[in-house]
Structure 1
Amino acid sequence: MSARAYPDAVDVVIVGSGPTGAAYARILSEEAPNATIAMFEVGPTVSDPPGAHVKNIEDPARRSAAQHASQGPSAAAETVSNPGAVKSGRRLARAGTFLLEDGYQQPGEDGLPVAAMSSNVGGMAAHWTAACPRPGGSERVPFVPDLDELLDEAERLLGVTTHAFDGSPFGDLVRERLAKAVDEGRVDETRVQRMPLAVHRREDGRLVWSGSDVVLGETTRANENFSLHDESLVTRVLLEDGRAVGVDVRDVRSGATHTVRARFVVVAGDALRTPQLLWASGIRPEALGRYLNDQAQIVFAVRLRDVPPLAADVPADGALAEYSGVSWVPFTDDVPFHGQVMQLDASPVPLALDDPVQPGSIVGLGLFCAKDLRREDRVAFDDVERDAYGMPAIRLHYRLTEADHAVMERAREEIVRMGAAIGDPLDSHPFTMPLGASLHYQGTTRMGRSDDGESVCDADSQVWAAGGLFVAGNGVIPTATACNPTLTSVALAIRGAWKVAAELAYG
């Protein structure tokens, strides 16, 4: 197969096509429309338009094919959508993602057994639940003064709304019952409320879930100076005199390699592969890969009681039956977990596997716990062993502390209390998901106030050790969060994109 034509030089290279990489492309298309931008994605295009959420694919066979194509080196592997997978104890990924073959757990450590990634245009935003809560309390980045403005912009790019399920007949009932159980002593912004979701409705009423396609928007797609190259692996960021000047990229289809020069490079992969690329490029600041954190996840399923039967038919094609919607119990510093209560068929993980599921009456509760941050929790890389893409093999070091176990135990007690407030449990005991199941890994390229060895980049996401090199994604978030991190990571990416646009304007 002949090699494809890559540009020899552009103003900005973006590595990764997930929502943060897409945010850079969108902001630059708006603020610096004359800048040339090349985006590289290791995985294939699996949806139309590129980067769209696979849930929007109405045909089940085509949707399944898109998920399998996103599973990179594990395209034929079983996934968690199979019956019995969640509680079977087997290491299975969610549909559309793939696991680390090894290196996920070191001797004597807890590890992240089901840490997963996806390889496709749109990244994990082609498979996510689209929940976009704002961080609160200690989740917020204290040294980013314009965080609320950035979050507003992130909501614009992602198309966030709290009204997607206004018509759900049981949504208000669920929130009313939850509020009686948890709202006492909370301020307005931390009380039970509708979950902000990146979703909109078509004219025919069908829900359309946001992916990177929404973030890119028509502005980027119409930008003649923007190009997207799928199945293209960036293997190295090039440095000259301490500054990023381009990348080496390998055409996955042909194996041919090419150098693309650039004034700025943005590495917008996930929290495992962004530090991997920096490491492979010889960019190895002391904090690289450190402060890896996940959100331990506790789940519980209940059947709503005292609800009238509904006449509406339950879809048989995997589409969402809009009965209970998605509700949010915000994180607080006093209650250090974040809650999602959703229609069971809205969840990517089946929670009630041995019970006949009636979408009108079964809801799943999930509590995500903030991690006790430790420098020792990290992603490390093997300079000898290689992964399926030929990059340095990933090795995860991860432990739960006594404080983590205490928060998780408290979450188990709380989720049972919350579940009893709204319905009858399907199982008397909550289930603790295997570590890594949240897919919310953070901290490995964290931003900081100063170059003190505890952070990789500054508040604009520019890497301390390399001028012109920016990092993006959940790994940039420096705080311990319990809420879904995508809105925050997109907000921080917008700040970086503004910085790049300003520097481009000044030449």
Structure 2
Amino acid sequence: MSLPLSCAYDVVVVGSGPTGSTYVREVFEQCPDARILLLDAGPKLGDPPGGHVKNIADDDLRARAQRAAEGPAPARPGRPGTRLLGTPQLPAAAVSTNVGGMGAHWTAACPRPGDSERIACVPDDAMDRHLTRAEELLHVTSHAFDRAPFADVVRQRLSARFDRGRPLARRVVPMPLAVTARADGTHTWSGTDVILGPAARDSRVEIADSCLCLRVLHDAGAVTGVSVRDVGTGQEATIAASAVVVAADALRTPQVLHASGIRPAALGRYLNDQPQIVHAVRLPDDVVATADTVTGRTRAEEGGIVPQSGVSWVPFTAAHPFHGQVMQLDASPVALADEDAVRPGSIVGLGWFCAKDITAEDRVTFSDTATDAFGMPEIAVHCRYTDRDLDSIEGARKAVAEAGAALGTPLGEAPFLLPAGSSLHYQGTTRMGAVDDGTSVCDTFSRVWNTRGLWVAGNGVIPTATACNPTLTSVALASRGAGALVEYVRDRAATAVGSTAA
């Protein structure tokens, strides 16, 4: 990819994952004259740009796309489509570098946060509106696996174990998923192509892949643009912009701000990585034998996933301070059993996420001398489990064991804790806050303190100890922030018109 075609834009968005794409879509729809540049350091994996790799029917093409997302060689591959950072305290920490970001690889789980997962500094009614908008942008549904033959039995057994004493809204239900069911019952998984919609093919929006943002440029407390490098050629350029949104994930967004000399006291701090307990269970033979199973396939011939046991959700509550998801193995990002050795759908994976005890000492820092594979400041992670975390992990382990016993025959000796960083749900490093008191990086509309025209986006903005999958929440916050950005762009345009008229 060559460098951007223009040298000036109304809005530059750094990072093409779900939240960066949300800013593009909202500005595109509400500011019909705005010119928008969407940057990503990684390549396009296919057409449409930002599509989910699960929608690629050919196994070889899908694997090739996943390898392309790992970043420059030599890479340390993590989960398919990711690159390990190699940080000792968070050994499974990994990132994707491609158009669409992690939105090209995610499980598409979109639960709403509840109880203490809610963000205190955003009014509940406003947050609910933003969550609804996020569900619209992501095409979220709770009915994706209605035709899955084992799903009802799985949920009935989970409900019998966990629903007692829960409010109606926090009982076991099908997991809300960002997918679209096809007529034959298979699925199209939402990537950022779904969020971008018509913006992805409009001349007002330019998508520059393999184009690395080196720094956000600023002067007198306001952004002036970005400095970028073509990853392939090494050519650098300066791009002028009225506003910049940095949405490069919870590890690389603070990296970009650090490299730019924009360093609020809370930058990189309050890192939240959700400890994850996993297990696998074989459903009883009578359940499998009596269900109207699929024809022995785990993937449809034209791509997508064949419904089997679906994805169920055990929500977080104050009494059950974990988020549980139970899913058929081909929908799970963690390989827990050999699918080919058993009847399709007869084994389900269980994953329970814990809400991390958030402290300022859990953080990412950046070197002023050493650099990473892209030539950016090298990332170091400082993170540990507190006594409260260890108690929570043991509680989750017991909950997973109880869920497994309720469902069927557990495989393996016991539920186990994945290496730190395995959740890929990193949060808090550019957290929002109601006031600029040194404990937040941005305000409740994601505007970076003391730098006009600069927004941050992504899971890093979430300030709360959450256990649920964070994408829906971060897209909701991006939609909220985009409302403020739209006003900013309109005001700048009106000022420019007024100056011309004068």
User: 2:136 maps to what in 1?
Assistant: 156
Q: Share of identical aligned residues, percent?
A: 57
Say whether residues 1:27 and 2:7 are aligned partners. Answer: no
**Separation in 1 of the partners of 2:84 and 2:381?**
12
Question: Does the CA-based 8 Å contact 2:51-2:193 persist in structure 1?
Answer: yes
Looking at structure 2, the residues matched to 374 and 5 of structure 1 have their Cα atoms a distance apart, in angstroms, of: 40
TM-superposed CA distance for 1:71, in Å, is 0.3
> 2:397 corresponds to which letter in structure 1?
R
The alpha carbon displacement at 1:335 in A equals 1.4
1:502 to 487, 493, 496: 487
C-alpha separation in 2, matches of 1:23 and 1:382: 31
Match of 2:475 among 476, 483, 490: 490
Instruction: State the shift of 1:3 in Å.
Output: 5.0
* Counterpart mapping for 1:387-466 below 5 A: 387-466=372-451
Distance 1:5 1:30, change over 3 A: closer
Amino acid at match of 1:182: F
Distance 1:281 1:289 in 2: 14
Distance 1:371 1:357 in 2: 35
Partner of 1:315: 297
1:207 and 2:187 are equivalent in the alignment: yes
Is 1:115 aligned to 2:114, yes or no?
no
Residues 1:258 and 2:229 are matched in the alignment? no
Shift of 1:359: 2.4
Distance (whole Å) between structure 2 residues aligned to residue 316 and residue 331 of structure 1 = 30
Q: 1:47 deviation in Å? A: 1.9
Match of 1:167 in 2: 147
Q: Cα distance 1:261–1:407, how it changes in 2: closer, same or farther (>3 A)?
A: same
Instruction: Give 1:313 shift.
Output: 1.9
Which position in structure 2 is the counterpart of 1:63?
Answer: 62
Name the structure 2 match of 1:84: none
Q: Encode CA deviations 1:95-137: one digit per residue, 9 max, x unaligned.
A: 1000114xx12xxxxx110100000000000000000000001
2:496 corresponds to: none
Moved more, 67-76 or 487-496: 67-76
How far residue 355 of structure 1 moved from its aligned partner, in angstroms, is 9.3
Aligned length: 484
**Preserved CA contact (<8 Å) 2:11 2:37:** yes
TM-score, normalised with respect to structure 2: 0.94
Aligned to 1:88: none
Match of residue 497 from structure 2: none
> How many angstroms apart in 1 are the aligned matches of 2:167 and 2:74?
46
Please tell me the residue identity of whatever aligns with 1:59: D
Q: 1:138 aligns with which of 109, 116, 120?
A: 116
Q: What is the aligned counterpart of 2:322 among 323, 337, 345?
A: 337
Cα pair 1:195 1:326 within 8 Å, conserved: yes
- Is residue 60–residue 317 contact of structure 1 (8 Å, CA) maintained in 2? no
Distance 2:343 2:250 in 1: 37
2:206 is paired with a residue of what secondary structure?
strand
Give 1:321 deviation, angstroms.
Answer: 3.4
Q: Secondary structure at the match of 1:233?
A: strand
1:46 CA drift (Å): 0.5
Q: Distance in 1 between matches of 2:365 and 2:72?
A: 20
Distance 1:378 1:136 in 2: 25
Cα separation, partners in 2 of 1:189 and 1:356, compared to 1, 3 Å: same
Which one-letter code corresponds to 1:206 in the other structure? T
Instruction: Identify which of 163, 171, 178 aligns with 1:198.
Output: 178
- The 5-angstrom pairing of residues 43-82 of structure 1 reads 43-74=42-73, 77=76, 79=77
Would the aligned equivalents of 2:147 and 2:185 in 1 still touch at CA under 8 Å? no
Distance 1:241 1:308 in 2: 67
Counterparts of 1:160 and 1:300 in 2: how far apart (Å)? 26
Q: Verify the 8 A CA contact 2:185 2:306 in the aligned structure 1.
A: no
1:203 and 1:504 map into 2 onto residues whose CA distance is: 42
The 8 Å contact of residues 13 and 266 in structure 1, kept in 2 or not, is answered as yes
Q: Is the 8 A contact 2:298 2:330 kept in 1?
A: no
Q: CA deviation at 1:7?
A: 1.5
What residue is the counterpart of 1:125 in the other structure? 103
DSSP 3-state at the match of 2:341: coil
TM-score by length of structure 1 reads 0.93
- Among 324, 327, 330, the alignment partner of 2:312 is 327
- The CA deviation at 1:506 is 2.5
1:391-444 per-residue CA deviation (whole Å, 9 max, x = no partner) reads 000010001000000000011111101110111111231121111000000000
Give the AA of the match of 2:130: L
1:188 paired to 2:168: yes
Structure 2 unaligned spans of 5+: 493-502
- Provide the C-alpha distance between the structure 2 equivalents of 1:166 and 1:369, rounded to a whole number of angstroms: 28
After superposition, where does 1:101-112 map in structure 2 within 5 Å?
A: 101=86, 104-105=87-88, 111-112=89-90
> Aligned-pair RMSD on alpha carbons?
1.6
Q: In structure 2, do the counterparts of structure 1 residues 417 and 100 end up closer, same or farther at CA, with 3 Å as the change threshold?
A: same
How far apart are 1:255 and its partner, in Å?
0.7
**Is the 8 Å Cα contact of residues 131 and 473 (structure 2) preserved in structure 1?**
yes
Question: Which secondary structure does the structure 1 equivalent of 2:249 belong to?
Answer: coil
**2:186–2:307 CA contact under 8 A, matched in 1:** no
- Which position in structure 1 is the counterpart of 2:500? none
Q: Aligned partner of 2:176: which letter?
A: P
Q: Does residue 268 of the first structure (1) align with residue 247 of the second (2)?
A: yes
Give the whole-Å Cα distance in 1 for the aligned partners of 2:341 and 2:359. Answer: 42
Q: Which amino acid aligns with 2:381?
A: L
